[in-house]
Amino acid sequence: MTFQGKIAYVTGASSGIGRGAAIRLANDGAAVVLIGRRRRHLDEVAELCGEHAAVLELDVADGAAVAEVLPNALAEHGPPDIVVHAAGITVLGALDALSEDEWDRQMDTNVKSIFHLNRVLWPAMQPTGGAIVIVASTASFAAFPQDAAYVASKGAVLALTKAMALDGAPHGIRVNAVCPGFILTPNLQGYFDGQPDPAAAVRGAAEAAPLARLGTPEDVAGAVAFLAGDDAAFITGTSVLIDGGLLARVPT
Ligand code: NAI
């Protein structure tokens, strides 16, 4: 029970990578505050997380809502030892094809949400320190075509990880990122379903990785738990690729 007595706030906890991370941290003993927009899904995840799980219905891209709701949650559940920023969306399109609203929606959800939450959570972590894990992407390092705003958002959060790590170090707050490759979640499934041949798209994504399969939320959760825990006590400002070797391969 690595995280016994610890409190973890996890965004995007209703689905996919955030859900997997929350369940893993709860299984390892943490009390988890599950943050997301979909009450019913959050309640289901809370069941899986056991008695020390709380649900917080919140749109993390809405700064006013975060400022109003999160301080109350903090007062109720206590300051975080661990924060996992997993809420995210993918707005597809080349830069010239995106509307300003689409660009803003992408950035507000994937990047600015971290700013909103941090304004509340960071001061609460400062006295005792803790660990923040940001879910970035292989797209933090290499671009997908027709995905300009998403790629920009993931580059931004990797840079932000380093900036926050420097500012957190004097307070014992470590900040790291996980960079998943193709992880089979509802989000990625939705992308596959939108392709002309979904089965071929799944095969292509799996075979792109030397380990020749899609990743699972549990694959990512293992790295999140490592970075959040004491085994990573001297690790900050960096990232772990969980991509089955995807970015290690030179295309031939
Ligand atoms: P998902 O769609 O299964 O889960 C994302 C979760 O974030 C959902 O629960 C959704 O409701 C929540 N969310 C979205 N906007 C929100 C908002 N404004 N407020 C509160 N919650 C919000 O997606 P998945 O795949 O689990 O993605 C999670 C993160 O992992 C995202 O940042 C994504 O970019 C990243 N990622 C995913 C990869 C994949 O292959 N699935 C690969 C690399 C990164």
Whether the CB of 185 sits within 6 Å of ligand 1: yes
Instruction: Determine the distance from the C-alpha atom of residue 140 to the mean position of all C-alpha atoms in its chain, rounded to a whole number.
Output: 13
3-44 residue pLDDT tens: 999 999 999 999 999 999 999 999 999 999 999 999 999 999
Can you name the residues that pair with 43 across neighbouring β-strands?
Answer: none
* pLDDT of the residue at 252: 80
Residue with structure tokens 């891209």?
61
Which phi and psi angles does 32 have, rounded to 5°?
-120, 135
Q: Is the pTM of this model over 0.95?
A: yes
Three-state SS for 31-83 is EEEEEECCHHHHHHHHHHHCCCEEEEECCCCCHHHHHHHHHHHHHHHCCCCEE
* pLDDT of the residue at 139: 98
Q: How confident is the model at residue 1 (pLDDT cuts 50, 70, 90)?
A: confident
Whether the CB of 213 sits within 6 Å of ligand 1: no
Q: What is d(CA 121, CA 81) in angstroms, rounded to the nearest whole number? A: 10
181-235 residue pLDDT tens: 999 999 999 999 999 999 999 999 999 999 999 999 999 999 999 999 999 999 9
Distance 31 CA to ligand 1 centre (A): 21
67-100 residue pLDDT tens: 999 999 999 999 999 999 999 999 999 999 999 9
Q: What is d(CA 224, CA 115) in angstroms, rounded to the nearest whole number? A: 20
Catalytic residue from among 3, 150, 182, 192: 150
Can you name the residues that pair with 242 across neighbouring β-strands?
Answer: 180
Residue with structure tokens 């300003």?
100
- 150 as an active site residue: the answer is yes
Hey, what amino acid is at 80? P
Instruction: Determine the distance from the C-alpha atom of residue 163 to the mean position of all C-alpha atoms in its chain, rounded to a whole number.
Output: 17
